[in-house]
Homo-oligomer: A and B are copies of this chain.
Amino acid sequence: MASLIEGQARPIRLADIAKAAGVSHGTASNVFSRPEVVRAEVRERVKAVAEAMGYAGPDPKGRLLRAGKVNAIGVGTTEPLSYFFEDPFARVMMAGISEACDATGAGIALVSAANQEKLAWNIQSALVDGFILFCIEGGSRLVELTRERRLPFVALELGFHDETISAIGVNNIAGGRLAARHLAELGHRRFAVLSLTLGEDRTGFVTPEMVRSAVYTGTRDRLAGYFEELSGFGVDTQSIPVFETENEERSTTAGLEAIFAGGERPTAILAMSDRMAMIAIDWLTARGLKVPQDVSIVGFDGVPDGALCDPPLTTIAQPITEIGRRAARMILDYDGAVRRETMGVELVVRASTGPAPRS
C-alpha cells in the first residue's frame, strides 16, 4: 500500500540509500566523500543501490550547512546584473576576479540590487563566503547592508573616507596630476572637467564648497590632482568649469553643452572616466570640432575600448585586472584584518591629446 502512495517521487536522500543498502548513513556518506576509507565490496554495493534508486549524489545544500564554506564569492552592485557584462570597466575587473577564482576553483555569484527593496534581501540571502562591492553610486547603502552580513568584504574604486572597511583603489591624486601635467605640457591653459559624482545624486556645475564636502573622496582626489598640477603651471583653477555627471550619456552630454555654451571654450577636457571621455569625443566630433586639433581629451580608467575608439584615447590607466585579482584574493585568503591597498596608475598617451591650438 505504501508503495502505491509513494508515487510523487520526493528526492532521494543519502539516508534513503543507506537504509536500502543496509549500511549506516555514516558509511553511505563516506562512499561519496571519502571512498578510500570504505571497503571496496561495500562501496560498490552502495553505489549500485544509489544508481538503481536514481540518487543524484550528495546534495550540496546539506553539505554546505555542515561545511560552512560556500566556496564562492559574491560580487555586488547597485546596477542591474547586466552591468557586469556590458560595462567595459566592470568587465575587465571581473576578468581579474575570475582569474583568481579559477585558480582556486571558487565560483562567482553575481548579486544585483537594482531596486531598493530587493537590494537588502539579495545581499542578505546570497550564498557566498564574502563580497566584492562595486561602489558606484548608492555605494554607501550597499556597504552598510553588506557590513551587516558580517562576512569579509572589499570595496572597490570609491575611496570612501570610512577607514574601517577593506578597500582597493588607485592613487587618484597621482592620476589627476599625470593627466593635468600631460595637457599642461602640451601647452593647454583653458580646461574643463567632466567629473564623477561627489556625493548625492546630482549633476551640474560644482562649487568649491561642494568639493570640500565630497563623500566620494576618489572623485575629490582626482580633482585635487588636476588642480594641484595645473596651479603649478600658473593656471587659475578657480575658473575651471567642473561638471558633475552620472557617468552616462545623458548627463555627460548635458555637461558638454553647458561647458561649450560659454564664451571661453576650453582647449582640453579632463574626464574622470574613459566612458565620459569617449562620449565627449563623439559629441565634439559630431559638432565639427576636431580631437585633438581643436580639443584634447584625457580619460581615466584605461578600459580596452579606449584603444579602439577614434581617435584612440589618451588616458590614466588603472591596473584594473590586477585590482580584481587582489580583491578576490583578499576574500579568498581572508584573515580578519582590514586591508586598504592603493595601486599606482600610469599615463597612456594615444591620439586624443595634442598641442594646444594657438588661438
Contact = CB atoms under 8 A, between A and B. Distances in A.
A122 interface: yes
Contacts of A105: 118, 121-122
Contact of A111 (B57, B70, B107): B107
Interface string A277-301: 0000000000000000000000000
Contacts of A151: 56
Nearest to A62: B65
B102 A56 contact: no
Interface stretch (A15-23, A82-90, A206-214): A82-90
A94 B98 contact: no
Contacts of A122: 105, 107
Contact of A124 (B60, B85, B94, B112): B60
Given A85-B94, A94-B85, A61 B72 contact: no
A254 to B, nearest CB: 26
Given A64-B127, A84-B98, A125-B63, A149 B56 contact: yes
Interface size class of A (residues with CB under 8 A): 35 or more
Given A54-B150, A108-B109, A61 B64 contact: yes
Given A54-B150, A105-B122, 17 more contacts: A56-B148, A57-B148, A61-B70, A64-B64, A72-B109, A80-B102, A81-B99, A82-B94, A82-B98, A85-B85, A85-B91, A85-B92, A98-B112, A105-B121, A107-B110, A109-B109, A110-B110
A304 to B, nearest CB: 10
A328 to B, nearest CB: 10
A107 B109 contact: yes
Contacts of A258: none
B85 A95 contact: yes
Contacts of A92: 85
A72 B127 contact: yes
A148 B68 CA distance: 24
A308 to B, nearest CB: 8
A110 B80 CA distance: 16
A61 B68 contact: yes
A49 interface: no
A71 interface: yes
A150 B59 CA distance: 11
Given A72-B109, A105-B118, A108-B109, A124 B57 contact: yes
Given A70-B127, A109-B109, A85 B56 contact: no
A112 B124 CA distance: 25
A126 B107 contact: yes
7 contacts: A61-B64, A61-B70, A81-B102, A82-B102, A86-B95, A91-B91, A98-B110
Nearest to A72: B109
A101 interface: yes
Contacts of A124: 57, 60
A114 interface: yes
Nearest to A93: B85
A307 to B, nearest CB: 13
